[in-house]
Structure 1
């Protein structure tokens, strides 16, 4: 296995570049007919977007988007904001320093409704810990639903938690 640092200090092996170029295109032939509807011709679309910097690949992003509903808590956003307002314990440090603002939690909602916190963008003074406590207290969420299959899927969302002094 090639260490990740290999790509940071040298240009990738030409073979790697050729493989990445080949996988930019789907594995179908040009002009192949769609099996469900013979009148529709399938055009080759790239599967990945490659970001380059200083002659190196720094990111590879999948381009295929899945149509889905957004995950939500309880009966929706208003219900979650009521939950936050009812259960928020304003951190003492933030209170003493007059800190107000919003904390954003990057939250992954899994197929079964369980959650895991990916990241927290906080305003300091104990707001991060309180936001994490609230998300853990919220329990099970309603997962995102794949519109094509109707099945629950894992999804990552941004959850804003407002901190406002009365």
Structure 2
């Protein structure tokens, strides 16, 4: 495990294993992915979070597509996944089982990523303790905001940024 663990990755793992805010997992790692040179290893983790978000919402087709993409990309990124402190073989098996689950029309189930690096696990669990979060708790299926965050989140800043960008494009060159 590298001595310099990206803060975004830690935040991803904490959300993934506590509040199960997969939408936030996606947002966190997508931002990091852009800053980190678009490395595909981050896409694997983003796709897993997106697949679980879709499955929890009952979008089995979207979940299956994303989970299959994650599984396929994992084959190319096994070494990088290992470098992030995850057990790439167990993760591949886990994704295969989850793909089967979706194909059998079974409902959403919270999963834990197979963290093999104990230092990484301890860092995450220490953060959880400090924030009063419970590592490994199941997703709250009654939390409407968590289930439909892509529709319910505040997009004021995103809309404002797009408007600023549009206006800048309209300004004549000086």
> Structure 2-normalised TM-score?
0.24
Structure whose residues are more often strand by fraction: 1
Greater RCO between the two (CA within 8 Å, min separation 6)?
2
> Structure 1-normalised TM-score?
0.25
When Rg is computed on C-alpha atoms for both structures, the one with the higher figure is 1
